[in-house]
Chain A
Amino acid sequence: MNHFKNNSKNKPAASRREFINRRNFLKLAGPFALFLSCPAYAFDLFKVIDPNGQNSDIQKAKQALEGLTGIVQSAEGIDYKSEFTIGETLALEGFQRFGLPVKNEKLQKYVTTLGNAVAKNSMRPDITYYFVVVDTPIYNAFACPGGIIFVSRALVKGMNDEAELACVLAHEVSHVAHKHALSSVRRAKFFESAAKLGTLNMDGAEGKQFRDMVGNLQNVLFDQGLDKGMEYEADESAMDVAYRTGFDPNGMIRVLKMLQQKEATATSKGSWFSTHPPLSSRLKKCNELQKKYPDAGLMATVKNRFQTYRKML
């Protein structure tokens, strides 16, 4: 027995490397096979096999694949500038779909200041967020990648205090911080061919892929909605971020209860009712989270200031 052990220990380095390579070959066979059919999935498999990027052989193979195809590892991994540009194009579509900004600079500035105040305590505090109240009777709010956040006049008007608005804005900030929208369209063709194209020509094939991807994003954010798990994650984060800033985290619960009351008579298509999980399940989860904040009642609600701005709607 000892003989075998010693033998294996004393193997020359080259043989050991060969052994490692063989072992890794089996691990790499999967991604390579997958690469032939769908490159984006191959990179996901790399993440599963070597999540921390510690295996140098696997990392080299991954880099080789990237070099061959010019594939961006994932939609979530894109740089801020590109993320923001995608957000801009989506915002252009958002204004056409949900209406133009409410014409009141004081109100817009108020919401932008509040939004950025909570964003400073979010998990992605180092980018600037942009907030806009759009003139629509639909109860809705959504976040474009890069940090352009829409909230509807109806939703703000339905609220009673600043803590409630802070929670809704923090919910949307959380979607941006987690790059939830981009995760939802990670399979888009655009991300598979983007890096080798050089510059984007809107008239060409790559321009079409870009517009298709923006179309997919519209479908996700305006109609179909994000994954349920992402919404619950954003609710949890919203309560935490609002509390950290100094607001009553129960503002989230009050907004959801308000929406529950409005649900029967409100327009469903393109609203929070159709793009978010059922209010009852969100309320249940938020009520459980409430226990984390025993002094929530002592936190700020800032009702008077909110009401001053609400009257402008």
Chain B
Amino acid sequence: MKRPLIFSSTLFFCLFFFFSICIAATTLYVTSENAELKTESSSSSSTIVELKRGSPLTLVSREGRWYKVTTLMNETGWVYRGKVSEEKPEIEETEEDEGGLGGLLGGLSGSDINADAADSSRSIRGLSPEAKEYAQTTGTPKQSQDALDSVITRTVKGQEIDQFLKEGKIGEYAD
């Protein structure tokens, strides 16, 4: 009598475990900077919302290189697979660091979050005063200073990147 009981209860637990796994929703995290939730599994479809890096999404289904997902705000749409991961990305905290090395090298508080602002102002003025001072002290040739200046004033806009990927039929723009 005991054997069939053990067998049936083991079977019940195995089935329960199997279905639990099937039902459990997979959570994905936005890992890229320029991820968008689309209405369809195509880059040409309209954008529902821009997805913030690190935000969680619930996987609904997969279709080729696109994932159907639901956001925390209950918006359902499609995201390109390269923009998400099952691993949560590490995002550096915004910290005012005026007393740290930032103060030492220019007096600006810095964080990665503020990097874009720093970049915009740099692209206007070129080499930082600290780098100029270093160049003077070490007798760096003007050619090298001009070279660096040309490199850090050359910036690329997000739209240019999208156009570049589109022309190359890369990633979400692939046929």
Q: Is A290 on the interface with B (CB-CB < 8 A)?
A: no
Contact B110 A246, beta carbon cutoff 8 Å: no
Interfacial residues of chain A within 67-117, with CB under 8 A of chain B in the complex: 72, 78-82, 84-86, 88-89, 91-93, 95-96, 100-101, 108-109, 112-114, 116-117
Q: List 5 A-B contacts (CB under 8 A).
A: A79-B110, A114-B164, A126-B33, A126-B113, A197-B104
How far does the alpha carbon of A194 sit from the alpha carbon of B101 in the complex, in Å?
6
Q: Is A244 on the interface with B (CB-CB < 8 A)?
A: yes
Closest chain A residue to B118, Cβ basis: A81
Q: List chain B residues, Cβ under 8 A from A132.
A: 147, 151
Shortest beta-carbon distance from A17 to chain B in Å: 29
Of A91, A117, A123, A162, which one neighbours B148 at CB under 8 angstroms?
A91
Contact A82 B105, beta carbon cutoff 8 Å: yes
Closest chain A residue to B164, Cβ basis: A113
In the complex, number of A-B residue pairs with CB atoms less than 8 Å apart = 194
Closest chain B residue to A115, Cβ basis: B156
**How many chain-B residues does the 8 Å CB contact rule pick out?**
67
Contact A78 B101, beta carbon cutoff 8 Å: yes
Knowing A85-B128, A88-B127, A89-B131, the reply to whether A302 touches B108 (Cβ < 8 A) is: no
How far does the alpha carbon of A82 sit from the alpha carbon of B53 in the complex, in Å?
24
CB 8 Å contact bits of B24-38 with A (1 = contact, 0 = none): 000000011110000
Interfacial residues of chain B within 143-160, with CB under 8 A of chain A in the complex: 143-145, 147-148, 150-152, 154-156, 160
CB 8 Å contact bits of A53-79 with B (1 = contact, 0 = none): 000000000000000000010000011
Of A112, A191, A214, A243, which one neighbours B154 at CB under 8 angstroms?
A112
CB 8 Å contact bits of B155-175 with A (1 = contact, 0 = none): 110001100110111111110
Contact A126 B115, beta carbon cutoff 8 Å: yes
CB 8 Å contact bits of A202-213 with B (1 = contact, 0 = none): 110011001100
Q: Is A130 on the interface with B (CB-CB < 8 A)?
A: yes
Shortest beta-carbon distance from B61 to chain A in Å: 18
Q: List chain B residues, Cβ under 8 A from A246.
A: 82, 165, 170-174
Contact A80 B116, beta carbon cutoff 8 Å: no
B-to-A contact residues, CB < 8 Å = 31-34, 53, 81-83, 89-90, 97, 99-116, 118-119, 122, 127-128, 130-131, 133-138, 140-141, 143-145, 147-148, 150-152, 154-156, 160-161, 164-165, 167-174
Q: Is the interface of B mostly helix, strand, loop or mixed?
A: helix
Q: List chain A residues, Cβ under 8 A from B155.
A: 128
Q: List chain A residues, Cβ under 8 A from B108.
A: 81
Q: List chain B residues, Cβ under 8 A from A195.
A: 99-101, 103-104
Contact A200 B112, beta carbon cutoff 8 Å: no
How far does the alpha carbon of A148 sit from the alpha carbon of B155 in the complex, in Å?
12
CB 8 Å contact bits of A112-155 with B (1 = contact, 0 = none): 11101100110111111011100000000000000010000000
How far does the alpha carbon of A300 sit from the alpha carbon of B171 in the complex, in Å?
8
Contact A126 B137, beta carbon cutoff 8 Å: no
Shortest beta-carbon distance from A232 to chain B in Å: 19
Other A-B pairs, 5, CB within 8 Å; known A80-B115, A123-B89: A79-B100, A79-B110, A81-B109, A195-B100, A199-B107
Knowing A199-B104, A200-B130, A300-B174, the reply to whether A95 touches B111 (Cβ < 8 A) is: no
CB 8 Å contact bits of A183-227 with B (1 = contact, 0 = none): 000000001001101111011001100110010000000000000
